[in-house]
Structure 1
Amino acid sequence: MAEPPAVPPSRKESCGYYTGILDCPTIVGRSTIVYDNEVYEKLLDPVEKQAVVPLWNDSAGLLRRKIREAVKGVDWNAIDIFRCGSTSLGHCHLVRPVIPSVSVEPGSITWMSGRAVALKYRDILREHGIHDVEVEIKESRITQCCSSDQDQTESNRSTSKLEPRIPTHEEESFGRHNIQLSEFLGTKIASSQFPTREGTKGLYLQVRNTETVVALTSRHVVFGQEEENVDFCRDTNNTRRVIQPGNKTYQDTMENLHEAISWINSSLRCYKSPTEKQLEHEMHFEGQAREKPTAI
């Protein structure tokens, strides 16, 4: 049965469809034609158990090969599978569906072309017995969160997407810099060979069947763009040292600590040496307390 035609989305839909997702990407294609035109906050969840997972995890399998062929003519930069749905527990869309997604360069594809890719992708899934998922195409741009080798300035500092939720100075005076010295995710790291080229520490992973815990980061943080893009396996005779934090963040942290120490010392001096005005104020209230008659 042929799919009914789908008209391009309204501006409200295309710009608000992914409300709540980081950077709110624009939707440029999908295999469904049903949309309730309602904008609500969405979030992404891991797929966990679903029939598509073992097929997708087989990197050399037929499914992955066919999907790559289906998007061959598209300027894509990522192919993902996740759950996407409402953030509200009381919302009618509580069950977050599994969404295979293709991310393309902004402005590189029309709605009709994007829909054609989504339908082709969905047909491949159905050939493999996956009948309960729909495909979406969205705009996305790859952003490297690694700083340059040169010292950064406020105008060109990297904007890490993995940074933890760090308190503001109003919420916690110096917590922002203290976090950089912790085991938290999203802290700044750098290769000891290029300490000014900072990147971000991602999630922790445990090596299968061992007690070894490793941290995930982008390849360019440790290797740099000038090195050949080939597989690298850990070798005790050829290790890459990583430091936390990198030079720029370390300098910022030290400056902040010096400011914190100065502020604390100043506060202590004020506490130990009250002014004459403060003493007079205290004596005034003490006098009032003595003159106040006792209630019967």
Structure 2
Amino acid sequence: MELEKYRKWVLKNRGRYYYHGLPSNPTLLARSPDPTWNPPIDNYEPGFYSPSPVDKYLSPLGRHPITEKWNNDDGSASLRSHVLQNLKGVNWTSVDILRCGHQHEEDLPAILFVSVEPGSTTPEEAQQLADRCAATLINHGLTDVSCEVKESHVVPLSTLQPLATVVDTNQSWKASYNLTDLVGATIAGSEQQEKQGTKGPYLRVKTVENGITTSSVCALTCRHVLSSSAQGTEHYGSNKIWQGCEPVVQPEIHHPTKLDYLTKRQARKVQDHCDDPAAEERTFASSNARSTVDSMAFGHLTRARQGSSGRATDWALIRLDADKHERPLDTIKNHVSIGFGIDNGYNHGYEAEQYCFVANTFFPPQDGIHNLRGILPVANIQAPESEDPTRESAICLGKIGHGSGLTFGLANQALSILRRPVSSTKDGGDLGEEDDSIHLSVCVMGKAGGYGIRPSTRSFGIGGDSGACAWDLNGRVAGMVAGMVTAGSMWDLEDRWTNVTYVTPMEWILEDMRECGLEASLCE
């Protein structure tokens, strides 16, 4: 196809190609202001490679006057309130303020992104919405920020994993990881093991009931990972917190396809005298022995919370069972495996391009174990300290999740607003919520690129990563992975790639627990 003909085709199908390069490639509906769009076209070797629009990528907002105006909501006259008023009557899903542009651009423009449910808004309605939001920005003195309306879902990051699925042997590292007490293992409720998420950080939790103080060690995860368990739990107190007792498991490799693979791998290593065959044999035997709920269980759901509007507080606590752990519970720490010498899979993100942009500022421990200590304040994410930021003036976060393993991303300075319509969620109605939940979250975007490499947006989290602990390069716990923005089918989580991932700040979670009568702190 001739280059000029291809350009005309792209311009004719602007909505389809406008975000070319973003992982989920959402559809643009409208933008305001709306100058003539003339995208750069890659045409390296005519006749050999087909032309394509130069990829776009996302970047954190960085230092911009809108950050303080947006984050510091001072009531009905605030910028955030005025934008929300513009969204009344619209089936919107999220509002993010990010930078976005083509790969050859460095000074990316700031954009107010409004995501709407696919098929819910016509281009004409979207244009009216974009114009209203652009006028609001101007009224608040923000003349260099535009508004774009696009089609995207916001969905939780738990995933349905059929138990009979043939497993990718490149992901066999999860088998041995799930035999440990490391943060980031795969978890599921015992009654719905195919719905899987990630085990978050360990907390010491104190409760006072009837004048009696009890203390326990718990693992944190998202409530929606264990939604089937939470539905049958008992209402507790005036806050929306539930109690339960269902076992929570770290699903294991007792499926035949996995066992067959490990058997063959073990035979090869014995024959080649590589690595440690004895250790491999012990791992294989331990995995093979865990074929019942009791053998896979590491704790029981003790409390679950579904937050209302304001802040995202979708969390659940899993009380650890002492007899399921080799080490005493009072010695458990928040450790993640990230460095060299770790089995294939743990550190695939470390050596990938996604890590290049922070490779000069972070060096993993020699034993490959990153020790998590302390809480990263939300204020530090919004205004990073001078020693923390990357060149984008944003804090770099890492995480290990069931879905995507080890990934790194940049936390946006401006908070995101998420809308959770009760009528469209699978697990919202059982909580007795009367209104749609509108809450805040921190937006994180994965990124690749280094010296001589074009920057691009990667997925920080995908299906299966719900509950994963996000941490900064100093080992401070930033929060818990909860959801994502995607253009895909709302509940089809297989092979889903995301533009941004939402993280609930740990600071907010601990504050919410205190409001519910729980005193929690990190296991350090």
Higher relative contact order, structure no. (Cα contacts within 8 Å, ≥ 6 residues apart)? 2
Residues 13 and 37 of structure 1 are in contact (CA less than 8 Å); yes or no, is this contact kept in structure 2? no
Counterpart of 1:123 in 2: which secondary structure? helix
User: Does residue 39 of structure 2 align to residue 37 of structure 1?
Assistant: yes
- If each structure's strand is expressed as a fraction of its own residues, which one has the higher value? 2
Q: How does 1:38-53 map to 2 (within 5 A)?
A: 38=40, 39-53=53-67
Secondary structure of residue in 1 paired with 2:16: helix
**Does the aligned pair in 2 maintain the 1:26–1:139 contact within 8 Å?**
yes
Q: Give the drift of 1:261.
A: 4.4
1:20 matched to 2:21? The reply is yes
**Offset at 1:142?**
3.3
Aligned residues: 229
Q: Report the alpha carbon displacement of residue 191 of structure 1 after superposing the two structures with TM.
A: 5.2
* Inter-partner Cα distance in structure 2 for 1:120 and 1:58: 21
Partner of 1:268: 270
SS at match of 2:70: helix
Residue by residue over 1:129-160, the C-alpha shift from the partner in whole angstroms, topping out at 9 and shown as x without a partner, is 21111010000123343246x964539x9xxx
Kindly tell me: are residues 84 and 75 of structure 1, through their superposed partners in 2, closer, same or farther at Cα, counting changes over 3 Å? Answer: same
How is 1:283-294 mapped onto 2 (pairs within 5 angstroms)?
none
Give the structure 1 partner of residue 125 of structure 2. Answer: 113
1:45-93 C-alpha deviation (Å, 9 max, x unpaired): 221321111222235632222111101121111111112123x3xx1x2
Equivalent residues of 2:39, 2:54 under 8 A apart: no
* Other structure's SS at 2:101 match: strand
Return the offset for 1:25.
Answer: 0.3
Partner of 1:74: 90
**Which structure's residues are more often helix, by fraction?**
1
1:189 aligns to what? 187
Equivalence for 2:139: 127
Counterpart amino acid of 1:256? K
Tell whether the 8 Å contact from 2:253 to 2:259 is kept in structure 1 after alignment: no
d(CA) in 1 for partners of 2:239 and 2:55? 39
Please give the secondary structure, in 1, of the residue aligned with 2:106.
Answer: coil
How far apart, in 1, do the equivalents of 2:153 and 2:171 lie?
35
Residue of 79, 90, 95 corresponding to 2:107: 95
What is the identity, as a one-letter code, of the residue corresponding to 2:18?
A: Y
Gap runs ≥5 in structure 2:
1-9, 41-52, 202-217, 274-524
- What is the SS of the residue equivalent to 2:137? helix
Q: Give the direction of change, closer, same or farther, for the CA distance of 1:178–1:18 in structure 2 (3 Å limit).
A: farther
Please, which of 189, 193, 196 is the counterpart of residue 198 of structure 1? 196
For normalisation by structure 2, the TM-score amounts to 0.36
Tell me the SS of whatever aligns to 2:114: strand
1:197 deviates by 3.1
- The partner residue of 2:68 within 54, 71, 87 is 54
Query: Residues 184 and 84 (structure 1 numbering): CA distance in 2 closer, same or farther, change over 3 Å?
Result: farther
Report if aligned partners of 1:31, 1:118 keep a CA contact under 8 Å in 2. Answer: yes
Aligned residue type for 1:264: Q
Larger radius of gyration: 1
The answer on whether the counterparts of 1:30 and 1:118 sit within 8 Å (CA) in structure 2 is yes
* 257-266 or 102-111, which deviates more: 257-266
Residue type at the aligned position of 2:136: I
Q: What root-mean-square deviation, in Å, do the aligned CA atoms of Structure 1 and Structure 2 show?
A: 4.2
For 2:219 and 2:60, locate their aligned partners in 1 and report how far apart those are by CA, in whole Å. Answer: 19
| Identical residues among aligned pairs (%) | 27
The aligned residue for residue 280 of structure 1 is: none
User: Unmatched 5+ residue regions in structure 1?
Assistant: 1-8, 158-167, 205-213, 272-296
